[in-house]
Amino acid sequence: MPQGVRRYDPDRRQRIIDAAIRVVGAKGIAGLSHRSAAAEADVPLGSTTYHFKTLDDLLVAALRQANEGFAQAVAQSPALADPDADLAGALARLLGELLAVDRGRVELEYELYLAALRRPALRPVAAEWCEAASEALVPRTDPVTARALVAVMDGISLQVLLTDAAYDESYAREVLARVLRP
9 lies in the same domain as 98: no
State the alpha helices, DSSP H only, in the chain.
12-27, 34-41, 45-51, 55-76, 78-81, 87-101, 103-114, 123-137, 143-163, 169-180
pLDDT given at position 3 = 55
Residue 60, in any domain of the structure: no
Closest CA to 173 of 148, 160, 156: 156
Residue 59, in any domain of the structure: no
**24 within 8 A of 62, measured Cβ to Cβ:** yes
150 lies in the same domain as 80: yes
33: DSSP letter: -
41 lies in the same domain as 78: no
What's the whole-model pTM score? 0.81
CATH number of the CATH domain containing 112: 1.10.357.10
166 lies in the same domain as 111: yes
Looking at residue 70, its amino acid is F
CATH number of the CATH domain containing 49: 1.10.10.60
pLDDT given at position 10 = 82
72 lies in the same domain as 15: no
| Domain limits for position 85 | 66-180
Q: How far apart are CA 163 and CA 111, in angstroms?
A: 15
49 lies in the same domain as 72: no
Per-residue pLDDT of the chain (182 residues; tens, 9 = 90+): 455 445 677 899 999 999 999 999 899 899 999 999 999 999 999 999 999 999 999 999 998 888 776 667 777 888 778 888 899 999 999 999 989 987 888 888 888 888 889 999 999 988 988 898 898 899 899 999 999 999 999 999 999 999 989 999 999 999 999 999 97
Kindly tell me the burial class for residue 67, based on how many C-beta atoms sit within 10 Å of its own C-beta (0-12, 13-18, 19 or more).
buried
Hey, CA dihedral for 136, 140, 144, 149, is it positive or negative?
Answer: negative
Q: How far apart are CA 121 and CA 59, in angstroms?
A: 9
